[in-house]
Amino acid sequence: MARIVAGVGCSHVPAIGAAIDLGKTGDPYWQPLFKGFEFSRQWIAAERPDVVILVYNDHASAFSLELIPTFAIGCAAQFQPADEGWGPRPVPVVEGHPGLAWHIAQSTILDEFDMTIVNKMDVDHGLTVPLSLMFGQPAAWPCKVIPLAVNVVQYPPPTGNRCYQLGHAIRKAVASFDRDLKVMIFGTGGMSHQLQGPRAGLINSEFDRRFLDQLSADPDGLARIQHIEYVREAGSEGIELVMWLIMRGALEEQVRELYRFYHVPASNTAVGHIILENPR
Q: Is there a catalytic annotation at residue 273?
A: no
Spatial separation of the C-alpha atoms in residues 61 and 54, rounded to whole Å:
16
Residue tagged active-site, from 12, 193, 263, 273: 193
Answer whether 60's CB lies under 8 Å from 151's CB: no
Could you give the CA distance from residue 238 to residue 152 in angstroms, rounded to a whole number?
Answer: 9
Asked if 84 interacts with ligand DHB (CB under 6 A), we say no
Indicate which single residue of 2, 7, 8, 12 sits in contact with ligand DHB (rule: CB under 6 A): 12
The DSSP code sequence of 133-182 is: HHH-S-SS-SSEEEEEEE--SSSPPPPHHHHHHHHHHHHHHHHT--S--E
Q: 196 near 269, Cβ under 8 Å? A: no
**Which residue lies nearer to ligand DHB by CB, 59 or 89?**
59
Q: Which of 100, 132, 269, 274 binds ligand DHB (CB under 6 A)?
A: 269
Contact 101, 179 (CB under 8 A): no
Collapsing DSSP to helix, strand or coil, 16 comes out as helix
Asked if 13 is part of the footprint of ligand DHB (rule: CB under 6 A), the reply reads yes
| Binding positions for ligand DHB, 40-59, rule CB under 6 A | 59
Q: Which residues pair with 94 in a beta bridge?
A: 79
CB of 29 vs ligand DHB, minimal distance in Å: 14
Asked if residues 81 and 89 have their Cβ atoms less than 8 Å apart, the reply is yes
Nearest residue to ligand DHB, by Cβ distance, number only: 267
Instruction: From 10-18, 101-109, 174-182, 206-214, give the range in contact with ligand DHB by CB under 6 A.
Output: 10-18
**Neighbouring-strand partners of residue 259:** 275
- Residues of this chain, 218-247, that bind ligand DHB according to CB under 6 A: 237, 240
* Between 15 and 173, CB nearer to ligand DHB: 15
Q: How many CB atoms lie within 10 A of CB 236?
A: 18
- CA dist 99 and 177 (Å) reads 9
Choose which of 7, 14, 74, 238 interacts with ligand DHB (CB under 6 A): 14
Judged by beta carbon, residue 258 or residue 264, the one nearer ligand DHB is 264
Nearer to ligand DHB, 162 or 193 (CB): 193
The DSSP bridge partners found for residue 71 are 150
Q: Catalytic annotation on 193?
A: yes
Interaction between residue 189 and ligand DHB (CB under 6 A): yes
Which member of 18, 195, 258, 264 binds ligand DHB (CB under 6 A)?
195
| 70 or 269: CB nearest ligand DHB | 269
Residue 171 Cβ vs ligand DHB, minimum distance, rounded to whole Å:
25
Q: Which of 153, 3, 138 is nearest to 63 (CA)?
A: 153
The residues binding ligand DHB (CB under 6 A) are 12-15, 59, 189, 193, 195, 237, 240, 267-269
Q: Which residues are part of the catalytic machinery?
A: 125, 193
